Amino acid sequence: MKRKRALWRRLLVAALLVLSLAMLTLYFRESEGGPAHRVQRAGLRLLSPLQSGASTIIEPFQDAWNWVGDLFTAQSENTRLRKEVAKLQALTARQLKQLREYQRLQGLQIVMEDEDKVFPDGVELVPARIVARSTEAWYSTVTINSGSSKGVALYDPVVNEQRGLVGRVTAVSSHAAQVTLLTDQKSAVGAEILPNEARGVVVGSITGDMTMDLVDRSEKIERGQIIVTSGASRTLRVRGIPIGVVDDVGKQAVELYQSIAVKPLVDFKKLEWVLVVRQ
Protein backbone atom coordinates (compact mmCIF):
# COMPACT_ATOMS: atom_id res chain seq x y z
CA MET A 1 0.00 0.00 0.00
CA LYS A 2 2.79 2.37 0.92
CA ARG A 3 4.63 1.55 -2.29
CA LYS A 4 1.52 2.40 -4.36
CA ARG A 5 1.16 5.77 -2.64
CA ALA A 6 4.83 6.59 -3.22
CA LEU A 7 4.47 5.56 -6.87
CA TRP A 8 1.40 7.79 -7.31
CA ARG A 9 3.21 10.74 -5.74
CA ARG A 10 6.15 10.30 -8.07
CA LEU A 11 3.85 10.02 -11.09
CA LEU A 12 1.99 13.17 -9.99
CA VAL A 13 5.22 15.13 -9.58
CA ALA A 14 6.44 13.92 -12.96
CA ALA A 15 3.12 14.88 -14.58
CA LEU A 16 3.22 18.35 -13.05
CA LEU A 17 6.80 18.87 -14.25
CA VAL A 18 5.85 17.79 -17.80
CA LEU A 19 2.78 20.07 -17.71
CA SER A 20 4.88 23.02 -16.46
CA LEU A 21 7.47 22.51 -19.19
CA ALA A 22 4.73 22.25 -21.80
CA MET A 23 3.07 25.45 -20.63
CA LEU A 24 6.39 27.33 -20.52
CA THR A 25 7.19 26.11 -24.03
CA LEU A 26 3.76 27.16 -25.26
CA TYR A 27 4.02 30.56 -23.48
CA PHE A 28 7.36 31.48 -25.04
CA ARG A 29 6.48 30.17 -28.51
CA GLU A 30 3.03 31.70 -28.91
CA SER A 31 2.26 35.33 -29.76
CA GLU A 32 1.04 38.01 -27.33
CA GLY A 33 -2.57 37.12 -28.17
CA GLY A 34 -2.16 33.42 -27.49
CA PRO A 35 -4.20 31.47 -24.93
CA ALA A 36 -1.42 31.28 -22.32
CA HIS A 37 -0.93 35.03 -22.38
CA ARG A 38 -4.71 35.57 -22.15
CA VAL A 39 -4.88 33.27 -19.12
CA GLN A 40 -1.98 35.20 -17.49
CA ARG A 41 -3.72 38.56 -18.00
CA ALA A 42 -7.01 37.22 -16.66
CA GLY A 43 -5.24 35.91 -13.57
CA LEU A 44 -3.61 39.28 -13.00
CA ARG A 45 -6.98 41.04 -13.26
CA LEU A 46 -8.49 38.66 -10.73
CA LEU A 47 -5.55 38.75 -8.28
CA SER A 48 -4.77 42.50 -8.42
CA PRO A 49 -7.70 43.57 -6.17
CA LEU A 50 -6.80 40.85 -3.70
CA GLN A 51 -3.15 41.94 -3.65
CA SER A 52 -4.17 45.58 -3.24
CA GLY A 53 -6.48 44.77 -0.33
CA ALA A 54 -3.88 42.59 1.33
CA SER A 55 -1.30 45.36 0.98
CA THR A 56 -3.71 47.88 2.55
CA ILE A 57 -4.32 45.55 5.49
CA ILE A 58 -0.66 44.61 5.99
CA GLU A 59 0.77 48.15 5.55
CA PRO A 60 -0.04 49.42 9.12
CA PHE A 61 1.53 46.31 10.62
CA GLN A 62 4.51 46.74 8.36
CA ASP A 63 4.87 50.39 9.39
CA ALA A 64 4.58 49.44 13.06
CA TRP A 65 7.25 46.79 12.64
CA ASN A 66 9.54 49.25 10.88
CA TRP A 67 8.90 51.86 13.65
CA VAL A 68 9.82 49.34 16.34
CA GLY A 69 12.96 48.42 14.43
CA ASP A 70 13.90 52.08 13.99
CA LEU A 71 13.24 52.68 17.71
CA PHE A 72 15.60 49.92 18.79
CA THR A 73 18.20 51.15 16.29
CA ALA A 74 17.90 54.72 17.66
CA GLN A 75 18.19 53.48 21.25
CA SER A 76 21.26 51.46 20.37
CA GLU A 77 22.80 54.47 18.62
CA ASN A 78 21.90 56.68 21.59
CA THR A 79 23.60 54.25 23.99
CA ARG A 80 26.70 54.17 21.78
CA LEU A 81 26.84 57.97 21.59
CA ARG A 82 26.41 58.27 25.38
CA LYS A 83 29.35 55.93 25.91
CA GLU A 84 31.47 57.94 23.47
CA VAL A 85 30.52 61.21 25.23
CA ALA A 86 31.39 59.67 28.62
CA LYS A 87 34.78 58.56 27.27
CA LEU A 88 35.46 62.03 25.84
CA GLN A 89 34.43 63.69 29.12
CA ALA A 90 36.73 61.39 31.11
CA LEU A 91 39.57 62.07 28.67
CA THR A 92 38.97 65.83 28.85
CA ALA A 93 38.87 65.77 32.66
CA ARG A 94 42.11 63.78 32.78
CA GLN A 95 43.80 66.14 30.33
CA LEU A 96 42.62 69.20 32.29
CA LYS A 97 43.94 67.69 35.51
CA GLN A 98 47.27 66.93 33.85
CA LEU A 99 47.38 70.49 32.50
CA ARG A 100 46.69 71.98 35.94
CA GLU A 101 49.33 69.74 37.50
CA TYR A 102 51.83 70.72 34.80
CA GLN A 103 51.08 74.42 35.41
CA ARG A 104 51.58 73.99 39.18
CA LEU A 105 54.84 72.11 38.66
CA GLN A 106 55.96 74.79 36.22
CA GLY A 107 55.17 77.42 38.87
CA LEU A 108 57.20 75.50 41.45
CA GLN A 109 60.08 75.24 39.00
CA ILE A 110 60.03 79.01 38.45
CA VAL A 111 60.11 79.62 42.21
CA MET A 112 63.01 77.20 42.60
CA GLU A 113 64.96 78.89 39.79
CA ASP A 114 64.36 82.33 41.32
CA GLU A 115 64.90 81.34 44.95
CA ASP A 116 67.87 83.70 45.29
CA LYS A 117 65.60 86.62 44.33
CA VAL A 118 62.80 85.64 46.69
CA PHE A 119 64.38 83.96 49.71
CA PRO A 120 67.49 84.78 51.75
CA ASP A 121 70.89 83.26 50.96
CA GLY A 122 71.41 79.68 52.11
CA VAL A 123 67.76 78.67 51.68
CA GLU A 124 67.04 75.43 49.79
CA LEU A 125 63.65 74.44 48.35
CA VAL A 126 62.35 70.85 48.43
CA PRO A 127 59.31 70.04 46.24
CA ALA A 128 56.62 67.79 47.76
CA ARG A 129 53.16 66.56 46.97
CA ILE A 130 50.24 66.56 49.39
CA VAL A 131 49.17 62.95 49.91
CA ALA A 132 46.66 63.32 52.76
CA ARG A 133 44.55 65.91 54.58
CA SER A 134 43.25 66.04 58.12
CA THR A 135 39.65 64.89 58.53
CA GLU A 136 39.10 66.55 61.91
CA ALA A 137 37.26 69.86 61.97
CA TRP A 138 39.42 71.16 64.86
CA TYR A 139 42.75 70.92 63.05
CA SER A 140 44.08 71.96 59.62
CA THR A 141 47.00 69.77 58.63
CA VAL A 142 48.25 68.01 55.51
CA THR A 143 50.78 65.25 54.91
CA ILE A 144 53.48 65.62 52.25
CA ASN A 145 55.63 62.93 50.62
CA SER A 146 59.03 64.47 51.50
CA GLY A 147 60.71 63.88 54.84
CA SER A 148 64.03 63.93 56.63
CA SER A 149 65.66 61.82 53.90
CA LYS A 150 65.37 64.93 51.68
CA GLY A 151 66.49 67.35 54.37
CA VAL A 152 63.04 68.39 55.62
CA ALA A 153 63.21 69.41 59.27
CA LEU A 154 60.84 70.44 62.05
CA TYR A 155 59.39 73.96 61.70
CA ASP A 156 60.54 74.41 58.10
CA PRO A 157 58.13 76.83 56.34
CA VAL A 158 56.10 75.52 53.40
CA VAL A 159 55.03 77.65 50.40
CA ASN A 160 53.00 77.13 47.23
CA GLU A 161 53.78 77.95 43.59
CA GLN A 162 52.83 81.62 44.16
CA ARG A 163 55.42 81.78 47.00
CA GLY A 164 52.61 82.22 49.53
CA LEU A 165 53.11 80.75 52.99
CA VAL A 166 51.12 77.54 53.46
CA GLY A 167 52.23 76.61 56.95
CA ARG A 168 55.04 74.94 58.88
CA VAL A 169 56.36 71.40 59.27
CA THR A 170 55.25 70.12 62.69
CA ALA A 171 56.15 66.41 62.43
CA VAL A 172 58.76 64.58 60.34
CA SER A 173 59.52 60.99 59.35
CA SER A 174 62.02 59.61 56.85
CA HIS A 175 59.80 59.93 53.79
CA ALA A 176 56.88 62.12 54.91
CA ALA A 177 56.06 65.16 56.99
CA GLN A 178 53.04 66.79 58.58
CA VAL A 179 52.38 70.43 57.76
CA THR A 180 50.20 72.57 60.02
CA LEU A 181 48.42 75.13 57.87
CA LEU A 182 48.20 78.83 58.69
CA THR A 183 44.46 78.42 59.15
CA ASP A 184 44.85 75.95 62.04
CA GLN A 185 43.67 77.27 65.39
CA LYS A 186 47.07 76.51 66.95
CA SER A 187 49.06 78.25 64.22
CA ALA A 188 50.92 81.47 65.14
CA VAL A 189 53.48 83.12 62.87
CA GLY A 190 55.46 86.31 63.43
CA ALA A 191 54.58 88.78 60.68
CA GLU A 192 54.99 92.35 59.53
CA ILE A 193 52.94 94.65 57.34
CA LEU A 194 54.68 96.37 54.44
CA PRO A 195 55.83 99.00 53.82
CA ASN A 196 55.72 100.43 57.37
CA GLU A 197 56.94 97.13 58.94
CA ALA A 198 54.27 97.11 61.64
CA ARG A 199 54.75 93.82 63.48
CA GLY A 200 52.36 91.34 65.01
CA VAL A 201 51.38 87.66 64.99
CA VAL A 202 49.19 85.98 62.35
CA VAL A 203 46.98 83.32 63.94
CA GLY A 204 44.45 80.83 62.61
CA SER A 205 41.08 79.86 64.02
CA ILE A 206 38.65 76.99 64.21
CA THR A 207 36.65 78.57 61.40
CA GLY A 208 39.69 78.83 59.12
CA ASP A 209 39.81 82.63 59.27
CA MET A 210 43.16 84.36 59.82
CA THR A 211 43.84 87.49 61.86
CA MET A 212 46.94 89.48 62.73
CA ASP A 213 47.03 90.35 66.42
CA LEU A 214 49.33 92.41 68.63
CA VAL A 215 49.71 95.21 66.07
CA ASP A 216 50.33 98.51 67.88
CA ARG A 217 47.27 100.72 67.58
CA SER A 218 49.48 103.71 66.72
CA GLU A 219 50.37 102.07 63.39
CA LYS A 220 48.39 103.35 60.43
CA ILE A 221 47.20 100.26 58.59
CA GLU A 222 45.16 100.30 55.39
CA ARG A 223 43.27 97.65 53.52
CA GLY A 224 45.30 95.93 50.77
CA GLN A 225 48.74 96.22 52.44
CA ILE A 226 50.91 93.12 52.13
CA ILE A 227 51.71 90.93 55.13
CA VAL A 228 54.91 88.83 55.17
CA THR A 229 56.82 86.75 57.70
CA SER A 230 59.00 88.81 60.04
CA GLY A 231 61.56 86.07 60.70
CA ALA A 232 61.33 86.90 64.41
CA SER A 233 59.62 83.65 65.43
CA ARG A 234 61.70 81.03 67.15
CA THR A 235 60.23 78.41 64.85
CA LEU A 236 60.19 80.43 61.61
CA ARG A 237 63.33 82.42 60.94
CA VAL A 238 62.89 83.14 57.21
CA ARG A 239 61.85 86.74 56.63
CA GLY A 240 59.77 88.08 53.75
CA ILE A 241 57.59 85.08 52.82
CA PRO A 242 54.19 86.47 51.68
CA ILE A 243 51.28 85.52 53.93
CA GLY A 244 48.39 87.61 52.64
CA VAL A 245 46.93 91.11 52.51
CA VAL A 246 45.07 93.28 54.99
CA ASP A 247 41.35 92.65 54.50
CA ASP A 248 39.95 94.69 57.36
CA VAL A 249 41.25 96.73 60.32
CA GLY A 250 39.54 96.67 63.68
CA LYS A 251 40.30 99.23 66.43
CA GLN A 252 38.76 99.38 69.85
CA ALA A 253 39.12 102.50 72.00
CA VAL A 254 40.07 100.49 75.07
CA GLU A 255 42.43 98.08 73.32
CA LEU A 256 46.22 98.57 73.11
CA TYR A 257 46.47 96.63 69.84
CA GLN A 258 44.74 96.45 66.50
CA SER A 259 43.09 93.26 65.23
CA ILE A 260 43.54 92.88 61.49
CA ALA A 261 41.62 90.46 59.27
CA VAL A 262 44.01 88.72 56.86
CA LYS A 263 43.11 87.51 53.38
CA PRO A 264 45.59 84.68 52.61
CA LEU A 265 47.44 84.45 49.32
CA VAL A 266 47.02 80.67 49.34
CA ASP A 267 43.86 78.82 48.34
CA PHE A 268 44.10 76.07 50.94
CA LYS A 269 41.34 74.01 49.31
CA LYS A 270 43.29 73.57 46.06
CA LEU A 271 46.72 72.66 47.38
CA GLU A 272 48.40 69.77 45.57
CA TRP A 273 52.11 70.60 45.29
CA VAL A 274 54.22 72.65 47.71
CA LEU A 275 57.81 73.65 48.40
CA VAL A 276 59.48 73.11 51.75
CA VAL A 277 61.85 75.99 52.58
CA ARG A 278 64.86 74.47 54.33
CA GLN A 279 66.03 77.04 56.88
Report the share of the chain in percent with pLDDT over 90: 33
Per-residue confidence (pLDDT) for residue 80, from 0 to 100: 78
Domain-embedded: residue 96: no
Backbone torsions φ then ψ of 229, nearest 5 degrees: -70, 145
Question: Is residue 108 predicted with pLDDT exceeding 60?
Answer: no
Residue 174 lies in a domain: yes
* Domain count along the chain: 1
Q: Is residue 245 predicted with pLDDT exceeding 90? A: yes
pTM, rounded to two decimals: 0.60
Taking the C-alpha atoms of residue 210 and residue 183, their distance in angstroms, rounded to an integer, is 6
For residue 69, CA distances in Å to 55, 62, 73, 78, 83 come to 20, 11, 6, 14, 21
CA–CA distance, 194 with 260 (Å, rounded to integer): 14
User: 31-44, pLDDT tens digit by residue?
Assistant: 666 665 566 666 55
Q: Is pLDDT above 60 for 47?
A: no
Give the pLDDT score at 68.
Answer: 67
84 pLDDT band, cuts 50/70/90, is confident
Q: Look at residue 118 and tell me whether its pLDDT is greater than 70.
A: no
Residue 67 lies in a domain: no
CATH number of the structural domain spanning residue 135: 2.40.10.340
Domain range holding 246? 123-279
